[in-house]
Amino acid sequence: MSVTGVSVAEREEKLRQVERIVGSELLHGSESLCKLLRYLAEHCIDHPGTAVKEYQIATELFKRPDNFDPRIDATVRVQTGRLRSKLTEYYASAGAKDPWIIEIPKGSYALAFLPRGGPAVSEGSTAATLPVRERGAAGASRTRQYNAWLVAVVVLSSICVLLAAGTVTLLLSRTADHRATKTDPQDPPTALAFLWNDFVATAEEPWVVFSNAEFVGRPETGMHYYNPASDRGKPILDHYTGVGEVLAIHELDRVFGSLNHGLRVKRGRLLSLDDAKNNNLIFIGSPSENLSLREIPTTQDFVFQRMTSGPRMGDLSVSDTSPGPGEPKSYLASEIPLTEDYAVIGLMPGLNPARWVMLLAGITTIGTQAAVEYVSRPNTVEKLVSRMGRSPSGKIVPFECLLRVKVSQGVPVQSEILALHLRH
């Protein structure tokens, strides 16, 4: 007897394999991934050869509304990518000897059940049988030699098994400790997926372009930004960046990993015009140090400028080109020790209107770190998206946001939105 061409026994075997994975430590607490695995498995078994659609998964499993648009909501893609990674990890550890291997081929939402190759060997079976004893002294001698050899093999095999068991125990212990400290959210935050959707909706990985300022001089004798008027002809140092940029790249890598997408990293001085036209770009750092920004139009309302007068003439500031009544025209970071900074978050079309540019920059490197953290943490992204409201199209629109950042001992500890301008 069969169900849709699959025998009842085989169907039960496959479903038992699904439950092995669901019950594993790897998927413990990941209710949404367990639901997705069961859903895809049942569809694969009961409807072989029939592809399941992203819209179908979104509306039937994740209870999205009938007007679900995969270009806006990446939940299904993100969750499927996470499940694909979990399956790979499972079969590399706990499922190494399971009778069935379950895969999700790239670019598909259909499961593949693969029986593990090779004949099954019971744990009680032996790998070899002993020879029949030969009669006579010569036969007895050969038998003793064989037995001595066999004992040596058994002893060495036992030592290898003990060493392997010890190594596996140590690795499992470390893995368990790592998992104990790692959170595995059941669903990707909707606001986070909405904000970064246009950067993860394509197969191409966006470029993260970090600041790469030009300096002259030496750190031990005095180093300063390159000034074309007074430093022409002097050797330029271009291999320094701020601590905030380093931490920012790490944070973005974490976020895009959770969205099942990669990043490419490039320093600002190496960005080409072709790069800018053909890729989504995320700029880390202001135009004062991220020099490629001087050739690429970004924010219009909140721009980085040097003060041209006053007691802090020459200091970098964020200028509001169209301040409202009672609003300041310029924002300056506090003097050293740094206790307050300002940062800009901007999303706008790139040189190629089909591509996007995200600017994440502070007056100082600490402000840059704060800007990246603001668009990487679910609670702050929720505040940002909530302030924007949803556009009539349901898609994110270009915007510029000004942050005030509180700093303590060189660390951004609190950020708040001072102003948010939408560019329809």
Q: What secondary structure, in 3-state letters, does the chain show?
A: CEECCEEHHHHHHHHHHHHHHHCCHHHCCCHHHHHHHHHHHHHHHHCCCCCCCHHHHHHHCCCCCCCCCCCCCCHHHHHHHHHHHHHHHHHCCCCCCCCEEEECCCCCCCCEEEECCCCCCCCCCCCCCCCCCCCHHHHHHHHHHHHHHHHHHHHHHHHHHHHHHHHHHHHHHHHHHHHHCCCCCCCCCHHHHHHCHHHHCCCCCCEEEECCCCEEEECCCEEEECCCCCCCCCCCECCCCCHHHHHHHHHHHHHHHHCCCCCEEEEHHHCCHHHHHHCCEEEECCCCCCHHHHHCCCCCCEEEEECCCCCCCCCEEEEECCCCCCCCCEEECCCCCCCEEEEEEEEEECCCCCCEEEEEEECCHHHHHHHHHHCCCHHHHHHHHHHHCCCCCCCCCCEEEEEEEEEECCEEEEEEEEEEEECC
User: pLDDT tens for residues 174-208?
Assistant: 444 444 444 444 444 688 889 999 999 888 899 99
Query: Which residue among 81, 115, 149 closes a domain?
Result: 115
Whether the model pTM is above 0.85: no
Does 84 fall in a domain? yes
Does 157 fall in a domain? no
Domain carrying residue 340 = 190-422
User: pLDDT tens for residues 357-374?
Assistant: 999 999 999 999 999 999
Computed over every residue of the chain, the mean pLDDT equals 80
**Same structural domain, 85 and 196:** no
Query: Which residue among 70, 90, 115 closes a domain?
Result: 115
Q: Which of 29-33, 125-129, 183-187 has the lowest mean pLDDT?
A: 125-129
User: pLDDT tens for residues 323-350?
Assistant: 888 889 999 999 989 999 999 999 999 8
Does 128 fall in a domain? no
As a whole number, mean pLDDT of residues 43-54 equals 85
Does 295 fall in a domain? yes
Query: Which residue among 66, 91, 115 closes a domain?
Result: 115
**Same structural domain, 279 and 413:** yes
Does 127 fall in a domain? no
pLDDT value at 255 more than 80: yes
Question: How many domains in the chain?
Answer: 2
Q: Which residue has the higher pLDDT, 152 or 381?
A: 381
